[in-house]
Amino acid sequence: MVIHNVDPLKCKGCGKCIESCGLELWELVDIDNGKKRARVIPGAGEICHTCRSCESRCPEGAVTLIDEE
């Protein structure tokens, strides 16, 4: 199981993590002031194959994958 942590102070809602994931595990959600923030679709993280594209393609360095036993 891997956790996809998104730093709320860094994420700009650009959507590049969505484009990067071949399994289409990401979505943008509305936050305050009309802004958007990325997250992995609830429950979808269980099928992530840990390619780390989302992590490496985020221009803000907002995504961190955390391996959990």
Q: Which stretches of the chain bind ligand SF4, using CB under 6 A?
A: 4, 6, 11-17, 20-21, 23, 25, 38, 40, 48-54, 58, 60, 62-63
β-bridge partners, 37: 29
With the CA atoms of 28, 31, 34 and 39 taken in that order, what torsion angle do they form, in degrees rounded to the nearest 10? -10
Residue listed under structure tokens 């969505």: 18
Q: Which is nearer to ligand SF4, 52 or 67 (CB)?
A: 52
Pairing state between β 2-6 and 63-67? antiparallel
For residue 5, the minimal CB distance to ligand SF4 (Å) is: 10
For residue 39, the minimal CB distance to ligand SF4 (Å) is: 9
